[in-house]
Amino acid sequence: MKKYRIGIVGATGAVGQEIISLLEKREFPVAEARLLASANSAGRQMQACGNLETIQETTADSFKDLDIAIFSAGSKQSLEFAEASRQHGCVVIDNSSAFRMDPLVPLVVPEINPDDLEKHQGIIANPNCSTAVALMGLYPLHKRFGLKRFIASTYQAVSGAGAAGFDALENELKAQFVPEENSSTATKDSPFPHPIAHNLLPHIDDFREDGYTKEELKMKNESRKILGNPSLKVSCTCVRVPVYRAHSISLSAEFSQPVNVPDAKAAIEGFNGAELWDLPNANRYPTPLQYAEKEDCGVGRIRIDQAFDNGLSLWVVGDQLWKGAALNAIQIAETLVEKKCLKWM
Ligand SMILES: NC(=O)c1ccc[n+]([C@@H]2O[C@H](COP(=O)([O-])OP(=O)(O)OC[C@H]3O[C@@H](n4cnc5c(N)ncnc54)[C@H](OP(=O)(O)O)[C@@H]3O)[C@@H](O)[C@H]2O)c1
């Protein structure tokens, strides 16, 4: 079996660590795992794919002789190094938002739009974590009933803000943090503007002039691109919650055809990558604790929506470090290999 040389940019980060463990877990055929990070980590050693590897500083030359580079180091680093990777003939799978809306870059969830990979020109974008998880519940319903518009409220785990987000919650809980009255001060080194333990923050990414955050716009714009529907109407509120891992999303969606719950459940059951977990009277609905480190996204609380005509409400939970980042990226690599379209030049 052919094996591939893979660069992992951001190998020391929250997503990078999951990429290493999922490459092993899914037995991706790795000939070399090249661990790339910032100068701060260069020289440190780490186990990856059966070998003790030395972390290297990422430079334009880091991609020589690689087949695939999975970037998880932030948009700035992707913009700085992706082109160098491409020039070396090494296909980029990018977890940042840098290229997602570039019309020349496929934005792919392999269970939904794998054929878009055939058009790649050396850079492929991985979707925003909440968008990927939401679409794992919405897409099978879209195929069955025809999605017209949806409203999403997200409940996003702290590790969505990287290792620093995880540490912020852990430090606050360890210190038995109790927010002072009217306190708006986050703990030292926290990526959040307010305390996150015992709190909820309706604020992820920067605010725009229209009052939405950039994260909320990703749900609209990326859903449109992945589903191939540029006029899809989407409204979203993103909330950071004191949960370590796995994002949860409440969805109300309107469809063009009449809906019913049994057919909706059957559509979810028949969709690879989603698990129907929906027996409310037996307390069976997806939770972040249950879906952390699970490849499938859980879908439950499916019911007729009371505000939309032909509407369904549902609750989707998925591990954002996996389906929202590392797993989806590796599934893209696997699909490129299957489709024999790794090379574009
Ligand atoms: N966390 C999630 O759930 C999630 C989900 C979807 C997408 N993403 C995206 O994935 C990316 C990484 O997120 P994360 O959560 O893993 O962040 P993180 O835990 O903060 O990790 C950041 C990584 O980037 C590396 N890095 C920083 N500056 C660098 C430089 N100049 N050159 C090379 N590497 C550099 C860091 O290396 P050092 O250790 O050497 O500093 C570290 O490995 C972001 O674009 C994020 O938006 C994250």
Tens place of pLDDT per residue across the chain (345 aa): 899 999 999 999 999 999 999 999 999 999 999 999 999 999 999 999 999 999 999 999 999 999 999 999 999 999 999 999 999 999 999 999 999 999 999 999 999 999 999 999 999 999 999 999 999 999 999 999 999 999 999 999 999 999 999 999 999 998 865 555 445 566 778 999 999 999 999 999 999 999 999 999 999 999 999 999 999 999 999 999 999 999 999 999 999 999 999 999 999 999 999 999 999 999 999 999 999 999 999 999 999 999 999 999 999 999 999 999 999 999 999 999 999 999 988
Whether the CB-CB separation of 330 and 23 falls below 8 Å is answered with: yes
The answer to whether residue 141 sits within a structural domain is: yes
The residues carrying an active-site annotation are: 129, 247
**Contact (Cβ atoms closer than 8 angstroms) between residue 288 and residue 169:** no
Structural domain including 283 reads: 130-320
Domain assignment present for residue 117? The answer is: yes
> What are the tens digits of pLDDT across the range 119-174?
999 999 999 999 999 999 999 999 999 999 999 999 999 999 999 999 999 999 98
> Do residues 110 and 180 both lie within one domain?
no
Atom of ligand 1 nearest to the CA of 40: 40
* Count of beta carbons in the 10 Å neighbourhood of residue 5: 17
Distance separating alpha carbons of residues 336 and 88, to the nearest angstrom: 18
Helix, strand, coil percentages (3-state) for the chain, rounded to 5, are: 35, 25, 40
Can you give the pLDDT at residue 181? 46
C-alpha pair distances (Å), 170 with each of 55, 119, 155, 242, 320: 26, 43, 18, 10, 18
Does residue 112 share a domain with residue 68?
yes
Torsion angles phi and psi, residue 277, rounded to 5: -135, 80
Q: Do the domain assignments include residue 343? A: no
As a whole number of angstroms, the distance between CA 288 and CA 283 comes to 14
What CATH number is associated with residue 230? 3.30.360.10
Q: Which atom of ligand 1 is nearest to the CA of 128?
A: 6
Residues 292 and 303 in one domain: yes
- Ligand 1 mutation pick, 95, 129, 159, max ligand atoms within 8 A of CB: 95
Establish if 345 belongs to a structural domain: no
The number of the ligand 1 atom at minimal distance from the alpha carbon of 41 is 40
Q: Which residues contact 266 (CB under 8 A, 6 or more apart)?
A: none
Compute the distance between CA of residue 311 and CA of residue 258 in angstroms, rounded to an integer.
8
Q: Is the same domain home to 136 and 197?
A: yes
Q: How many Å apart are CA 96 and CA 105, to the nearest integer?
A: 13
Task: Among 9, 12, 15, 323, name the best residue to mutate to test ligand 1's pocket (greatest count of ligand atoms within 8 A of Cβ).
Answer: 15
Q: Are residues 174 and 291 in the same domain?
A: yes
CA of 36 to the centre of ligand 1 (A): 11
Alpha carbon distance 59, 76 (integer Å): 13
Residue 344 lies in a domain: no
| Whether residue 145 sits in one domain with residue 25 | no
Length of the chain equals: 345
Q: Is the domain of 296 the same as that of 195?
A: yes
- My answer on whether 228 and 240 are in the same domain is yes
On the 0-12 / 13-18 / 19+ scale of CB atoms within 10 A, 345 is exposed
Would you say residue 191 lies in a domain? Answer: yes
Q: Which residues line ligand 1 (CB under 6 A)?
A: 9-16, 37-38, 40-41, 58, 72-75, 77, 95-96, 129, 159-160, 162-164, 320-321, 324-325
First-to-last CA distance in the chain? 23
Task: For residues 19 and 87, state if they share a domain.
Answer: yes
330 exposure class (CB count in 10 Å sphere: 0-12, 13-18, 19+): buried
Q: Are residues 122 and 19 in the same domain?
A: yes
Residues 97 and 26 in one domain: yes
What CATH number does residue 25 fall under? 3.40.50.720
> Three-state secondary structure along 215-275?
HHHHHHHHHHHHHCCCCCEEEEEEEECCCCCCEEEEEEEEECCCCCHHHHHHHHHCCCCEE
Same domain, 65 and 192: no
In ligand 1, the atom with minimum distance to the C-alpha of 15 is 16
User: What total number of domains does the chain contain?
Assistant: 2
Ligand 1 center–CA 229 separation, angstroms = 30
Among protein residues, the one with the nearest Cα to ligand 1's atom 4 is 160
Atom 20 of ligand 1, residue of closest alpha carbon: 162
Query: 149 C-alpha vs ligand 1 centroid, how far in Å?
Result: 32
Confirm if 204 and 239 have CB atoms less than 8 A apart: yes
Cβ neighbours of 39 (radius 10 Å): 10
Q: Residues 6 or more apart from 84 whose CB is under 8 A from it?
A: 60, 61, 62, 63
